[in-house]
Amino acid sequence: MHGNKIISFRFVTILMFALLALSGLGFSIYMIYIANSLYMYILAISFTILALIAGFFNVTASIWYYRSFFYTGYLKKITKKLKPVKAYPTVAVAIPVFNEDPKQVESNLSRLMTLRYPKDKIRYYLLDDSTKQEIAGELKAFAGKHGIVYLHRASREGFKAGALNNFLKHSNEKLIAIFDYDEYLINANFLMDLLPYFEDKKLSYIQTTKKYASGSFFSDSVELFNAFFFRFIQPARALDNTAIFAGSCGLINREAIESVGGFPEYVIEDTFFSFESDMHNFKSLYVPKVYALGRPIRTFTELMRQQWRYNYGNTQFIGYFFKKSKRLRKLTTLTSMDYITHGFSLNYLSFVLVLFTIVSMLIAFSSVPFVSLTITEFLQSKYLPLDFEAFGVLAFLLSFIMPIILTRVYFKSIRKGFMVFLLNYALAIIRTKAAIAALFNKGTSSTRWSREVNPNENRLLFSIYNTKVELLFTGLLIVLGVYAININHVPGGVWLLWYGFMYSCATILFYKYG
């Protein structure tokens, strides 16, 4: 797509976001209009609140989407002002590790050591929190052989942030590059490309695009979560100086990290650091270029654990953000919205989605008079209040087709768009569990709720064990859906059966992808 076609589709997409926001509110108006009891008013108000939340996120998404197209011009203006580097500051390349495959770590470390930079100005650090002695021993030996500084901790206090803070105590380099153990360098110009930007002494960090290597259909579909974020959200946020440091494939100014007191020791330390950096009046930058490829997520269990950590951390961040309320006067409305929506994003996609389902279930068995209007009646003013019922259908259709259309246009795949849609339902309850665990401070690990598959275990039993809640919810929706159809409430029944299928995807994906 080029020229006028891109501009046309851009506005069509914004229109779809707006329609999605309005359709939920339209159905809320219908619910309030036909309410004839306290129970119905409670349902109507509940649905309206959820519709307003969904509308807020859809409007925010449209703003991010629209503004992302201006970032290329913004970055070009900054790049044109860059001057050739006259002096090379010292650089530390840090790689945090925790009980990972030594062979993969060693392979990727060897590749990182090909970074183009004066050899007397760069030093590599292996931050090993491994608790398995055989892994720690092998990594220590490899580090010693290749001149890599090996730092091992007896406990994993503070998680990755703790390892990075420990590293800060044992290093003094001016710039810090962080890569995850599974990221394979594909462009050795990482430091040489990014260094000129740090002529701006207020620049805290530069984040580049994170991308998984190509793998199976499943892993490539999962990659779209990253792709949407780095293609649309990150550029739009960077315009507001709120580009998120994504934990790796980034370069940090030591002065900035020391000014904020080190990495906040939370499970998503990168988001907290980004926020603190902004609060301390530092700048941030996003460079939309891929320098390393991460290992693809191959199993649904891996994805679940990743999403658990993200939503646990995001839920913690919401509280952290509001605790800093006295300092928020420095933030513009748009900047505040960036942070609020980031903290609530996965909760919106999970907890709010589950609540929508529950309210929908109650609506299907309420006294809502789902009606059938002819085209002529639909256009008559006396039927206008009943016309708003159609907004419910419109909201449902748009929520289904939008990710598919966007994926087809920007990533050339309808199938992957459909998978992304399914994944949001399949992960909804898992993410909700993470949010609940964070709210009640019940530990950061997803192992409280699931366990790894045993190679000798029956795959079906493993899938059922890990999705007990999803299966119970699915069963309830199917039973109620069938009952609704049996009493001739066909629209409500079909609605519930569809939801039942969507939540059953958690079990299906666990079974298919492990």
pLDDT tens, residue by residue, 285-323: 999 999 999 999 999 999 999 999 999 999 999 989 888
Name the one residue in this structure whose structure tokens are 């309410």: 35
Which pair of tokens denotes residue 397? 């259709």
DSSP 177: E
Q: Do 408 and 271 meet the contact criterion of CB atoms below 8 Å apart?
A: no
pLDDT in tens, 211-266: 999 989 999 999 998 899 999 999 999 998 889 999 999 999 999 999 999 999 99
Q: What is the DSSP string of 402-436?
A: HHHHHHHHHHS-HHHHHHHHHHHHHTHHHHHHHHH
Strands 184-185 and 149-152: unpaired
386 pLDDT tier (thresholds 50, 70, 90): very low
pLDDT digits (tens, 9 = 90+) for 314-368: 999 998 988 876 665 567 777 888 888 888 888 887 888 898 888 888 877 765 5
Cα 454–chain centre separation: 28
Rg (Cα) of the chain, in Å, rounded? 25
Burial 484-513 (b: 16+ CB within 10 A, else e): bbeeebebbbebbbebbbbbbbbbbbbbeb
Q: Identify the DSSP state of 171.
A: -
Distance from C-alpha of 234 to C-alpha of 261, rounded to nearest angstrom? 25
Could you give the CA distance from residue 170 to residue 151 in angstroms, rounded to a whole number?
9
Alpha carbon distance 384, 365 (integer Å): 24
**And the tokens for 244?**
């998120």
Complete domains list, the chain, with CATH: 12-33+346-513 (no CATH), 72-298 (3.90.550.10)
Strands 122-128 and 149-152, bridge-based pairing: parallel
Ordered alpha helix ranges (H), 158-205: 159-169, 190-194
Q: How far apart are CA 247 and CA 269, in angstroms?
A: 8
**Tens digit of pLDDT for each residue in 48-104?**
898 888 888 888 888 888 899 999 999 999 999 998 888 999 999 999 999 999 999
Dihedral (CA of 106, 109, 114, 117) sign: negative
What are the residues whose beta carbons fall under 8 Å from the beta carbon of 133, sequence distance 6 or more? Answer: none
Give the separation between CA 363 and CA 286, rounded to whole angstroms. 45
Give the pLDDT confidence of 15-50 residue by residue, as tens digits: 888 888 888 888 888 778 778 788 888 888 988 898
Judge whether 287 and 410 are in contact, CB under 8 Å. no
Give burial (CB, 10 Å; 0-12/13-18/19+) of 66: middle
Per-residue pLDDT reduced to its tens digit, 403-412: 888 888 888 8
